[in-house]
Amino acid sequence: MVLLLLAFLAGGLTILSPCILPVLPFVFSRAGQPFLRSGLPLLAGMAISFTAVALLAVLGGSWALRANLLGRTAALVLLGCFGLALVAPRFAERFCQPLVRLGGRLALRQERRDGSGTGPAASVVLGVATGLLWAPCAGPILGLVLTGAALQGATPQTVLLLLAYALGAVTSLALVLLVGGRLALALKGAVPAAVWWRRGLGGAVLLSVGAIALGLDQASLARFALADTNALEKTLLRHGPTRPPGGSAVIAASNLPVLGTLPPFPKGAVWLHSPPLSRDQLWGKVVLIDIWTYSCINCVRTLPHVRAWAQKYRNHGLVVIGVHSPEFAFERDLANVRKASGRLGVTFPVVIDNDFTIWKAFNNTYWPAFYFIDHQGRIRASHFGEGSYAKSEQTIQQLLREAGFRNVPTGLVRP
């Protein structure tokens, strides 16, 4: 029960994270319409579809991946047509006519006068489409839930935890929608203002659809930081049944302890940017393991430092290895990972961990997670989440000196 409450509260905190920004235009598109007939059905559809998509990532399998990719494509088309309907209702009605027939007039059943539908069915469909595209920032609590799901499968507890997280998110969005609704109602008295409001929302919807379709949302959102929700979630976890991982204290230690040994990489695993590596090949080197996934905004924000460390110390004994463990089903697609790696400038070796084998071997619960391995294959430090970049680099320098490498660069990178 306590974990359910924590999941709900963590979902509510997503309103403060940048990952919510791409879906806000879709939610605000129902502002000014009856909440019970429009806003509430949209949010309910969003919560249900997000839960289903998260479960697809747990189930895995090629069929789940195809279903998720098809669902995201359909959602982009649907929301694109909806954005066109807000900007130019008559044009959109003709352009999206096949979708109108296929959907039984659910998604684009708008009045010719204002270009928007107010029925619950249309709102549910738009909510489902929004949930298919929403990729929340994976903080400590969502990471804990998804880790449990990956280890235990689609159990009733997993479903309830994911649903609690989604309900927390849509509850905070409901408050935002109610505030936006008051503004929209105030504008309805002035017809020109109402028209520009509708067209502005339509333009925002189309921009969001384009950014998500092109994969530009992660790189753009990495520049924003509305609030330190990770710190808030860690505070919640300290008062819950499970404690969050605490990597910063480990890194701050002057004499780094031995936390374990580097687990072997799975045989037959797919590697990007490098032939398969083994523990024997890494003996004598200092290794930085970065567990990440490409749609995780927190992971994307750390990449400039990881890339800089890989470049600065590559000729001085450091090997950086990325472990790509997917948060959502669409991140299991190898082509998507290749494309995202190129877009994000990742050139260091990356091993694909779709079945969470490496994740489980490290007993990991977080995106991103850093593990610092010394020249004898021992885990000497770890860090979870963003920040502590100076301490992380100092740990790398200390391990390189311990390994006997000379002329180890000093100073800190500032990407």
* DSSP track, 176-235: HHHHHHHHHHHHTTSHHHHHHHHHHHHHHHHHHHHHHHHTHHHHHHTT--S--HHHHHHH
| Cβ pair 86, 205 in contact under 8 A | yes
Q: Region 63-78: what's the mean pLDDT?
A: 59
Q: Region 294-302: what's the mean pLDDT?
A: 88
CA–CA dist 127, 269 (Å, integer): 37
The SS3 call for residue 24 is helix
**By mean pLDDT, which of 32-41, 86-95, 203-212, 279-288 is the weakest?**
86-95
Residue 367 has pLDDT above 90, yes or no: no
CA–CA–CA angle 276, 54, 299 (5° rounding): 50
| Cβ pair 33, 86 in contact under 8 A | no
pLDDT band at 398 (very low <50, low <70, confident <90, very high): very high
Residue for token pair 């927190």: 298
- Can you give the pTM of this predicted structure? 0.65
| Cβ pair 39, 33 in contact under 8 A | yes
Q: Region 159-188: what's the mean pLDDT?
A: 73
Sequence-ordered alpha helix ranges (H) in 1-61:
2-13, 24-28, 40-59
229-238 vs 140-152: helix crossing angle, rounded to 10:
70
pLDDT band at 281 (very low <50, low <70, confident <90, very high): very high
| Cβ pair 308, 372 in contact under 8 A | no
Confidence (pLDDT) at 101: 47
For the chain, what percent of residues have pLDDT higher than 70? 57
Q: Quick one: which H or E segment has residue 175?
A: helix 156-187
Residue 314 has pLDDT above 90, yes or no: yes
- CA torsion angle 48 52 53 55 (round to 10): 140
Residue-wise pLDDT for 107-145, tens only, equals 444 444 444 445 677 778 777 777 766 666 655 566 666
pLDDT band at 244 (very low <50, low <70, confident <90, very high): very low
Confidence (pLDDT) at 357: 92
What integer best gives the mean pLDDT of the chain?
75
Q: Is 221 exposed, middle or buried (0-12, 13-18, 19+ CB in 10 A)?
A: buried
* Strand partners for 322: 290, 350
Compute the radius of gyration of the chain from its Cα atoms. Answer: 23
81-85, 100-104, 162-166, 378-382 — most confident range: 378-382
Cα distances (angstroms) measured from residue 349 to each of 104, 313, 322, 400: 48, 15, 6, 19
Residue 167 has pLDDT above 70, yes or no: yes
Q: Which domains does the chain have, with CATH numbers?
A: 2-235 (no CATH), 248-402 (3.40.30.10)
Q: Region 206-218: what's the mean pLDDT?
A: 64
Residue 337 has pLDDT above 90, yes or no: yes
Residue 239 has pLDDT above 70, yes or no: no
CA–CA dist 79, 107 (Å, integer): 9
Residue 175 has pLDDT above 90, yes or no: no
CA–CA dist 285, 99 (Å, integer): 57
126-130, 139-143, 199-203, 277-281 — most confident range: 277-281
For the chain, what percent of residues have pLDDT higher than 90? 30
**By mean pLDDT, which of 24-28, 372-376, 386-390 is the weakest?**
24-28
Confidence (pLDDT) at 344: 92
Residue-wise pLDDT for 6-65, tens only, equals 778 777 776 666 666 667 777 776 666 777 877 888 888 888 887 877 776 655 555 555
Confidence (pLDDT) at 231: 57
Of residues 366 and 290, the one with the higher pLDDT is: 290
Residue 307 has pLDDT above 50, yes or no: yes
131-140, 196-205, 314-323 — most confident range: 314-323
Confidence (pLDDT) at 161: 80
Confidence (pLDDT) at 65: 54
